[in-house]
Amino acid sequence: MSIRHPKTHLHRTWASAYAAAVCALLVATSVADLANAADGPPVSPRGNVAPPVQFLNDVVPLLTRLHCNSGGCHGKATGQNGFKLSLLGFEPDFDYAALVSEARGRRLFPADPNQSLLLTKATGVVPHGGGRRLDTDSDDYRMLRDWIAAGAPAPRPDDPRLVRLELEPKRGELQRNSQRQLRVTAHFSDGTNRDVTRQSVYVSNVPEVADVDDSGLITTQPRVGLFAVMVRFGDQLGAYYGAVPRGDTAPTNAVKGPAEMSKIDHHLLAGWNRLGIAPSPPADDAAFIRRASLDICGTLPTADEVTSYLNDTQADKRKRLVDRLLNRPEYATYFALKWADILQNRGRGYSTSKQRPGTTLFSAWIRDSIATNKPYDQFAAEILTASGSQQQNPPAIWYRSVRTQQDYVESVAQAFLGVRIQCAQCHHHPAEFWSQADYYGLAAVFSRVGRKGGFTDAEVPTNEIIYLKQAGEVRHPRTGKVLGPRPLGGPDFDLSPYDDPRQAFARWMTAPENPFFARTMANRLWGHFMGRGIIHPIDDARSTNPPSNPELLDELAREFVKSRYDIKHLIRLITTSSAYGLSSVPNESNSDDLQSFARFYPRRLSAEVLLDGISQVLEVPTQFSGGPGIFPPGTRAIGLPDENVPMNFLDVFGRPARTSACECERSDARRWRKRWNW
Partner 1 sequence: MDSSHSNRIVPAQRHSTIDGLGGLGATGVSPVRRGRHWRHASGTRQQRIKSTLKSLTSCLTAVAWLVALAFSSPVLAQPNPTLSSVFPPGGRAGTSVELTVAGSGLAKLTTLHCSSAELTFEKTGTNRVRINIPPQTPPGCYDLRAMCVDGLSSPRAFIIGTREELLEAEPNESIKTATSVPLNAVVNGRIEKKGDIDQLRFVAKQGQHIVVECQAERIDSQLRAVLEVYDSSGKRLAVNRGYFGIDPLIHFRVPADGSYIVKVFDLIYGGGADYSYRLSIGNTPRVIFSHPAVIQTGKTTRVTLYGWNLTTKIPPAQASIAGSAATVDNSFDHIEIDVTPPADEGSQRVRLQSNQLAVDGFAFHFPGSDEPIQIGVTDVPVVRDQSANYAPDAAQSLSIPCEVSGQLIDGDERDWYAIDARRGEVLWLEGFAARIGAPMDLDISVLDSSGKRELARFRDEVKNIGGNSFPTAHLDPAGRWVAPANGRYLILVRNLIGDLSRDARRIYRLSVRREEPDFHLALVDHPGTPAALNVRRGGRTTVDVLAFRSRGMTGTIRVSAKNLPPGIQCPDVYLGPGINRAPLTLSATDSAEALIHNLQLVGHSKPVGGWDQEATVTAQQPHGRKVRGGTVIRTGAPNGSARLTSEIPFAVTAEAPLRITADGNETRSHDLYGEMKVRHSPGGILDVAVQIDRRDVSFQAPVQLVGVGLPALIRHQAATIPAGQSKGYVSFHLPPTLPVGRYTIAVKAVTTVPADKAKGKPQSVTVFSNPVTFDVQPAAFVVEIDADAPKQIGRGKVLQVKYSARRINGFIGKIHTELTAPEKVIGLRGRGVTFVGQTDSGNIQIIANTDAPLGQQPFVRFYAIGVVEDQPVFHGSCFLNLEIIE
* Chain contacts with partner 1 (rule: CB under 8 A): 329, 353-354, 356-357, 360-361, 364, 368-369, 371-372, 374, 378, 381-382, 385-389, 391-394, 450, 452, 454-455, 457, 462-463, 465-468, 470, 497-500, 503, 506, 626, 628-633, 641
Q: How far is the CB of 673 from partner 1 (least distance, A)?
A: 30
Reference 598, options 579, 581, 585, 575; nearest CA is 579
Q: How far is the CB of 645 from partner 1 (least distance, A)?
A: 12
Q: How far is the CB of 390 from partner 1 (least distance, A)?
A: 10
644/349 Cα distance (integer angstroms): 9
64 vs 360 by CB, closer to partner 1: 360
306 vs 364 by CB, closer to partner 1: 364
Sign of CA dihedral 658, 660, 664, 669: negative
Q: How far is the CB of 323 from partner 1 (least distance, A)?
A: 15
493 vs 653 by CB, closer to partner 1: 493
Reference 237, options 167, 172, 182; nearest CA is 167
308 vs 392 by CB, closer to partner 1: 392
621 vs 628 by CB, closer to partner 1: 628
Alpha carbon 167 to its chain centroid, in Å, reads 23
Whether 346 contacts 359, CB under 8 Å: yes
DSSP type of residue 293: I
251 vs 627 by CB, closer to partner 1: 627
Alpha carbon 133 to its chain centroid, in Å, reads 34
Q: Summarize the chain as % helix, strand, coil (round to 5).
A: 40, 10, 50
Q: How far is the CB of 356 from partner 1 (least distance, A)?
A: 5
7 vs 452 by CB, closer to partner 1: 452
DSSP of 353-407:
HHHHHHHHHHHHHHHHHHHTT--HHHHHHHHHT--EETTT-GGGGHHHH--SHHH
Q: How far is the CB of 626 from partner 1 (least distance, A)?
A: 6
Q: How far is the CB of 297 from partner 1 (least distance, A)?
A: 16
378 vs 615 by CB, closer to partner 1: 378
Q: How far is the CB of 332 from partner 1 (least distance, A)?
A: 9
Neighbours of 441 (CB within 10 A): 24
The CA-atom distances, in angstroms, between 90 and each of 22, 96, 477 are: 22, 12, 15
Residue 445 parent element (H or E): helix 436-445
Q: How far is the CB of 629 from partner 1 (least distance, A)?
A: 3
Q: Looking at the chain, how many residues does it have?
A: 678
224 vs 361 by CB, closer to partner 1: 361
Neighbours of 555 (CB within 10 A): 20
Diameter over CA atoms, the chain:
91
